Amino acid sequence: MPATKPADPFQFFDEWFAEANASEPSDANAMTVATATPDGLPAARILLLKGVDPAESDPRGFVFYTNKQSRKGDELAHNDHTALLFYWKSLARQIRIEGTVTDVTDAEADAYFATRPRISRLGAWASQQSRPLGSRAVLEARLAELEAKYPGEAIPRPPHWSGYRLIPRYFEFWQAREFRLHDRITYTKDGDVWRAARLNP
Fill in the DSSP letter of residue 91: G
**In this structure, are residues 59 and 167 in contact, taking their beta carbons and an 8 Å threshold?**
yes
What is the pTM for the complete model shown? 0.92
Pairing of strands 183-190, 161-175: antiparallel
> Which is higher by pLDDT, 15 or 25?
15
Write down the domain spans for the chain: 9-117+160-199
pLDDT surpasses 90 at 7: no
pLDDT surpasses 70 at 168: yes
The per-residue pLDDT of the chain, averaged, comes to 94
pLDDT band, very low/low/confident/very high, at 128 (cuts 50, 70, 90): confident
The CA distance from 111 to 2, in Å, is 37
pLDDT of 3:
61
Which run of H or of E encompasses 146?
helix 136-149
The CA distance from 133 to 57, in Å, is 41
DSSP-assigned beta bridge partners for residue 168: 99
CATH architecture of 9-117+160-199: Roll (2.30)
